[in-house]
Amino acid sequence: MVATFTTPDPQTAASQTQLYNTHYRRIYNTCLRIIGNTPEAEEAMHDAFLKIFAHVHKITGEKAFYAWSQSIAIRTAIDRVRKKKIRFEPVENLAVMDETPEEDAPAAWSVEAIKQKLMALPDGYRIILSMRLFEECSFEEIAAALKIKESTVRSQFARGRRKLVESCKLKVESSKVSANL
């Protein structure tokens, strides 16, 4: 797929279409998780593909393409979010919080319910959680991409995870209450 894309023949448009059709869902979902709204995510996805099409000739191999295109999608989405001036609280301004995982998380939470709760989180939490959990970025990589301290990333991740668990618990508890009525 990538090899045919690098040759400047009349099939370039067909190669671009094939590349887009193969990878657009992955690129779009990455952008959506970071940005949090559909129209902006679509714009970011299209911007990412323009960058991919412009430089794909430099990449060889499917694994290299996958990682490279994913990093372009992440950076493009972060650039869009950065334009909105998202604020991250420096760790020095925050009280120390326990970073132990929640033990009582119900197994019955649906993936869709968790995704909805994630999208409802403030941008700073959502971006860091998405990059860490879905894109599997290290804390160091997230800090570099967002141009913030690693300690801030860790703190925001812990707080975001806690907020996500709390919001899911509220949904579970409210459904228990309504079932008892």
User: For 37-70, what is each residue's pLDDT tens digit?
Assistant: 889 999 999 999 999 988 888 888 778 888 899 9
Whether the CB-CB separation of 160 and 121 falls below 8 Å is answered with: yes
Closest CA to 130 of 148, 140, 142: 142
pLDDT of 151 above 70: yes
What sign for the dihedral angle of Cα 27, 29, 32, 33? negative
**Cβ atoms of residues 61 and 2 within 8 Å:** yes
Q: Same structural domain for residues 175 and 98?
A: yes
* SS3 state of residue 98: coil
**One domain for residues 99 and 175:** yes
Query: pTM here?
Result: 0.63
116 pLDDT band, cuts 50/70/90, is: confident
3-class DSSP state of 31: helix
* Residue whose tokens read 């023949």: 9
Domain range spanning residue 163?
91-180
**How many domains does the chain fold into?**
2
Please give the span between the terminal C-alpha atoms of the chain, in angstroms, as a whole number: 58
What token pair was written down for 142? 């997230």
Q: Let me know whether 107 and 79 are in one domain.
A: no
Output the average pLDDT for the chain. Answer: 77
Instruction: Answer yes or no: do 104 and 167 share one domain.
Output: yes
